[in-house]
Amino acid sequence: MLALIVGVRIVGLGHFGGRPIRIFVVEDNELFLQGLIFFLKRIEGVEVAGYSLDGKGLLDEIEHSRPDLVIMDLFLPKSSGIALTRMLRRRFKSLKVIVLSICDEEECRSNAEKAGASAYVTKGQPLERLKDSILRLAAAS
């Protein structure tokens, strides 16, 4: 699992057009979700736009919260992160999706890429990798 950093403010992240990067998180493990939100809130230039534990009603939530980026778990109890990524990318063309999963197999990465994911990070990697992916996507926008 990603090691969480407590009490640290991370600086140097860019903005989307002079405003904070709005991130929506889809993660079914509530403890991991809360730790991830805690981490994201400490990154300068990042705002957590919302979260979902199961992806249910996700399209409406994304429509309402208007994030720039979604962090998507691959395996959800009521849905597939791959299917949700595909739906999001079809409906919201400019929305970036980072798939964050425990799966470290090439098939998982490939399926996420085919669904339109902008990046793939495994939960076994340091949080620095997730932050770097967010930074790279922000710089490219």
Range of the domain at 60: 21-140
Q: Is the pTM of this model over 0.85?
A: yes
* Residues 45, 10 contacting (CB under 8 angstroms): no
The DSSP line for 68-99 is SEEEEESB-SSSBHHHHHHHHHHH-TT-EEEE
pLDDT in tens, 26-53: 999 999 999 999 999 999 899 999 999 9
Phi/psi of residue 47, nearest 5 degrees: -130, 130
Count of domains for the chain: 1
4 domain residue, yes or no: no
pLDDT in tens, 59-114: 999 999 999 999 999 999 989 999 999 999 999 999 999 999 999 999 999 999 99
94 domain residue, yes or no: yes
pLDDT of residue 19: 81
d(CA 105, CA 88): 23
* CATH number of the CATH domain containing 91: 3.40.50.2300
